[in-house]
Structure 1
C-alpha cells in the first residue's frame, strides 16, 4: 500500500545524489505502486492455499511463515519509509486526517459490500432464499458494528461460510490495518518532537527497542497478561520502523544496485537460518531492497497513476471465499488464484475510482493540500496497506 509523477512523499522533488553514496529515491521514476500491487497479489495467492482447503505442509513458506506474512512485512517496510516522509513535512493534525482519509473509507466500504453483496449471495447459494439472512447470528449489522473502528473483532456473517473449506471468515486480511494505523500513530506522535523529524537517532533507537521487545516477546507478555494484540503489534512495528529508519539514512547512503542486491540476499538468508526475530532485525534491509527494486523494475503508466493495491488487498479474501461458496476450490491454487485476482481487480478498480480517490481529494482540500495530487505512494496497504495521502 499511486502516481509516480506526483510521488512527493518520497521526500525529494527531483532525483538527487545522497551525501556519501548512491542516489535518493526518484519521485518521478519509481515503481512503488507496482511493487505494492505485487505484494497484495502475493497475499491473495498465499491465502488461496487454506481457502481451498490445502494442508499447511503444502503451503509456500519461508522461515516458519507463509508467503503472505512476508508480503505484509514488505508492505509495512515500504510504508514506514513513505509515511515517515509524509509526517516530516505535515503537521500532526493534518497527518492524522490524511491517514484517516486514506485508510477508513475503503475499509468501511468493504465491510458494507461484504454484508450487502457477498453475504447475501452466499446465503442464497446455501439456502436458495434470503430469508433469515439479516437475523441469523452473527448478523450482518453485528459484523459491521463490531469491525467499525478498524480493529477486526468479527469474521463471520450467520452461516454464510459454514460449508467452505475455510469456514466462517469473510475477510482474513483486514486485521493488519489496525496495526498499520497504530504504526502511523507511533511515528506521528514521535515526530511531534522536533529533533525526531531531523535526526536519525530517535527513530534508530525506537527501531532497536522494537526489535528487542519482539526478541523477548514472551517476557514482555508476562507483564501484559499474554495480550495477543501486543504480540502482533510487536511483530509488525519493527518492519515499519525499519522503513522509517531508511527515510533518515538514504539522504546519506542512497540507493545503489550492489547494496540493493546484498540487502535482499541478507534478508532471505537470514530469515531462513536465523532466530524468529531475524526478519524484524533485517527490516531496514528489506525496506532498502524494495526501494532499490522500485528504481529498476519498470511500471505500466496506468498503475503509476492509479494505486489499486489497497483495493486488491481488502477485497481479495471475500472474493476468494465467494468463489469457494460457488464450489471452485477444485481448481487448485494457481487457477483459483488467477480467477480470484481477475474478479478482485474489478472491485479494486471500483474502490479506487469510487471511494479512495474521491476521499483523498476531500482530505487534501481539508488539509490545504493540492486536491489534484491524490495518488502519492505510501502502503501500505498496504496489511496492508500501502496507503496514501
Structure 2
C-alpha cells in the first residue's frame, strides 16, 4: 500500500466530502423544484457551504500530495485520473441515456442537432449546460448538469499549486500571512471583478487556505486549540465590522481541515465502502432534473429528495467501484529511495 493511501486512512475527510456533496444536493433539490435556495446564515446557501468545504479539503489534500511527491508529471496524472474518468462518464450518461429519454425532439433530430456534439466539449473542460430539447419545461429549464462549473476552477487552482510548488513556495508557512493580507484588500474591492473571475477568486481563496494549512502544518498542528481560538476571534471581529464573507473564510477552512485531519470514532470509517462524494456531486443534478421532469415539481419535496438521492447514490456507488477507484489505482507514485 502506498504512503499516500496510508495517510488518507483513519481520518474524517471521507465524511466531510460526503457532507459537502449532501449540502450541495439539498440546495439543488430545492432550486430545481422551483422552491428557491436553502439559505444559511453568513454563508448564503447550503450549496455554497458545500463547495467551500470541497475547495478547503482539496487545497489541503492536493498540497499534501504534492509535498509527498513534488513531481509535475506524476501530480498531473494523479489529478487527471481523479477528475476526468468520472467527468467523462457522467457526460456520456447525460448525453446518451438521459438526453434521448427526456428530449422533446425525436431521436434523429436529437442526435443530428449541433447541440448534441457541442455538449461533449465538457470533456476538455469547456462546460456546456444544455442538450437539444432537454428539460425545456422544468422549473430550472435547459440546464442538464449545473454542478460542473466548479471543475474548471478546481483544475485552474491545481495548476496554481504546481507553479508555486515548483517555486518552493509551498514550504513557506508565512504564505498564509500574504494570502490573508490579499483577502483583506480584496474584501474592499470586489466590485472590480467580473462575475466569472469572482467565482475563480472566491473559491480559489478557500483552496489556497487549504494549501497554506498544508504548508504551515508544523506550526499549527502542535497548537490546534490555540489557533482555533485565534481564527474564531478574528471571525467574530470581521463579522462585527460587517466583513461576514471574510469571517467565514478565516474560520471555515481551518475548522474543516482541523476536523478532517482528526480521527473520530464511526466517522473515521465513513468511507470504508468507498468515497462516493465525487459521484454524488457529478450525478445529482441531472438525476434531480430528470426526477422533476418525470414526476413533476409539485410532488412533495421529501419524495423528490428521497427518490433522487437513492438513484444518485446508486450511480455514485457504481461510479466509484467500476470507474473511479480502478482509475485511482493507476496513479503513479514515487519509488521509495528516489527523488
Structure-to-structure mapping, 1:1-389, within 5 angstroms: 8=4, 27-56=8-37, 59-63=38-42, 65-90=44-69, 91-123=71-103, 126=104, 129-136=106-113, 139-145=115-121, 147-152=122-127, 154-194=128-168, 196-206=169-179, 208-210=181-183, 212-213=185-186, 215-219=188-192, 221=193, 226=194, 228-254=195-221, 256=224, 274-275=242-243, 277-279=245-247, 281-282=249-250, 285-294=251-260, 295=262, 296=264, 298-299=266-267, 301=269, 303-304=271-272, 306-364=274-332, 367=333
1:2-60: CA deviation from partner (whole Å, max 9, x where unpaired): xxx97737xxx7xxxxxxxxxxxx7542121111011101101101111001145xx33
Change (3 A) 1:297 1:263: farther
What TM-score comes out, normalization by structure 2 length?
A: 0.86
Count of residues in Structure 1 that have an aligned counterpart in Structure 2: 332
Are the counterparts in 2 of residues 155 and 168 from structure 1 also a CA contact under 8 Å?
Answer: yes
> Counterpart of 1:387?
none
| Structure 1 ranges of 4+ moved more than 6 A | none
| Distance of 2:14 and 2:173 partners within structure 1 | 26
> Counterpart of 1:378?
none
Q: CA deviation at 1:79?
A: 1.2
| Distance of 2:30 and 2:142 partners within structure 1 | 16
| Distance of 2:243 and 2:51 partners within structure 1 | 19
| Distance of 1:259 and 1:202 partners within structure 2 | 16
* Structure having the larger proportion of residues in helix: 2
Are the counterparts in 2 of residues 51 and 320 from structure 1 also a CA contact under 8 Å?
Answer: yes
1:111-151: CA deviation from partner (whole Å, max 9, x where unpaired): 1110011111112xx56x534221345x2211113x22213
Q: CA deviation at 1:96?
A: 1.4
| Distance of 1:349 and 1:271 partners within structure 2 | 40
Q: Which has the higher contact order (CA 8 A, sep 6+)?
A: 1
Are the counterparts in 2 of residues 43 and 71 from structure 1 also a CA contact under 8 Å?
Answer: yes
1:281-318: CA deviation from partner (whole Å, max 9, x where unpaired): 41xx3222123333236227462351110000011000
* Secondary structure, counterpart of 1:162 in structure 2: coil
* Secondary structure, counterpart of 1:331 in structure 2: coil
| Distance of 1:7 and 1:274 partners within structure 2 | 44
**Aligned-residue RMSD, C-alpha:** 3.0
The 10-residue stretch of structure 1 (108-117 or 286-295) with the greater mean CA deviation from structure 2? 286-295
